Amino acid sequence: MSRTRRTSPFVRASLQALLLVAVLLGRSEAASAWDPFGDETADAGPATPPDPAPYVIPEGVYLVTDVYVAAVVTTAGDTTTYSTTTMPETPGTYARVVDMVGTGGDSTFDGSSFNGRARLADGRAVAGTYYEDFVLTAGGLVSVNVVFFQDDSDTRQRAAGATAASGPEAPSSPDVPALPSGSSERTTGSLEPRAPDETPAPFAASASVALAPLGPSLDSIEVLRGRSVRLWLRATRDGVAIPVRTWRLVTGSTDLLSRREGGGADPCDAIWLTLPAPGSVWTLRFEVTSELAPGRTLMATIGVAVRSPALGE
């Protein structure tokens, strides 16, 4: 006699409950907390381009800390010295040595430097070094000019009529590499000291402030309190106006200023609300650079007297 096994109602209910739980678990999905901004469209904002890779200055190119001022020819007794004067200044440009030439030697850069290359009395070119100047732009270094630093001397022999051209000395500036000693050669024949005016003349450059793009340069101005004044930076080379490449306000106080730096086509709009102390003026000082005054950082200064309409008597 077979005996049918029957499950108790309790077991059957438990199995049904387990089956229900298993079904629910199988259909469940992960529950997340309510996101109050979930219905908003995602906006990552303007795409920020990755930072450009830092530009590596090529080897042999260095930051200029001494700039060319003038080529100088001096005569002491029988010796005529051809040298170059510099002044310590950091215009932010770069340079490299492109050629070093001895006395009478030819260079592929002859005629390409903006200051030329002097010649000895016998017609030979003086010794020295050619430098190429660069400005650093977003695209890298851009060549702007070539300058020749002369470094030579002649000594006239009274008795024998022979003249020795001594080797150039190393420039004192650490940024100006020394010429190799002995790069010049001995020579014979009568040499006359060269007149100073046969060397390229240094140019005079200056900067100033005007109240119009073509307005006259002004050392001081009067402005009404609260009135906007448009300042234009100007530059001149040997008295001739040249385009301004960049300008930057170095020192000075204004209450409202449109910009602290800009290009030659960008004016500087300023407003003064504060009156200076009685008898004094506000002074603005700008740094100005120009393509036609390479290696120079020109300074422009202007005094500003702030006035206000007032009753008299």
Partner 1 sequence: MRRDGGSAAVMVIVLLPFLLAVVTGVVQLGTVRVLASRVAAAADLAALAATDDQDQAELVRTGMLHLAPDATAVARRFFALNLAQIAEHLDVTPEAAAAEADVAAFPIAPAVDPLTGWRYDRPTVRIAASVPVRTPAFGMLLLPRTTLVSVRAASSAR
Residues that bind partner 1 (CB under 8 A): 210-212, 215-216, 218-224, 307-313
Query: Minimum Å distance from CB 222 to partner 1?
Result: 4
DSSP 182-201: T-S--EES--PPPPGGGSPP
Q: Where are the beta strands (DSSP E) in 38-191?
A: 62-63, 66-76, 79-88, 94-101, 128-137, 140-150, 152-156, 162-166, 187-188
Query: Minimum Å distance from CB 288 to partner 1?
Result: 18
β-pairing, 229-237 with 205-210? antiparallel
Answer whether 175's CB lies under 8 Å from 148's CB. Answer: no
Of 147 and 209, the one with the shorter C-beta distance to partner 1 is 209
Query: Minimum Å distance from CB 265 to partner 1?
Result: 18
Query: Minimum Å distance from CB 81 to partner 1?
Result: 46
Of 191 and 210, the one with the shorter C-beta distance to partner 1 is 210
Q: Measured between alpha carbons, how far is 170 from 208 in angstroms, rounded to an integer?
A: 36
Of 222 and 238, the one with the shorter C-beta distance to partner 1 is 222
| Token pair listed for 128 | 């020295």
Query: Minimum Å distance from CB 189 to partner 1?
Result: 60
Query: Minimum Å distance from CB 221 to partner 1?
Result: 4
Q: Measured between alpha carbons, how far is 208 from 300 in angstroms, rounded to an integer?
A: 5
Of 240 and 311, the one with the shorter C-beta distance to partner 1 is 311
Burial class (CB in 10 A: 0-12, 13-18, 19+), 12: exposed
Of 223 and 288, the one with the shorter C-beta distance to partner 1 is 223
Q: Where are the beta strands (DSSP E) in 105-200?
A: 128-137, 140-150, 152-156, 162-166, 187-188
Query: Minimum Å distance from CB 206 to partner 1?
Result: 17
Of 36 and 309, the one with the shorter C-beta distance to partner 1 is 309
Q: Calculate ∠ Cα 141-147-153, nearest 5°.
A: 145
Of 17 and 224, the one with the shorter C-beta distance to partner 1 is 224
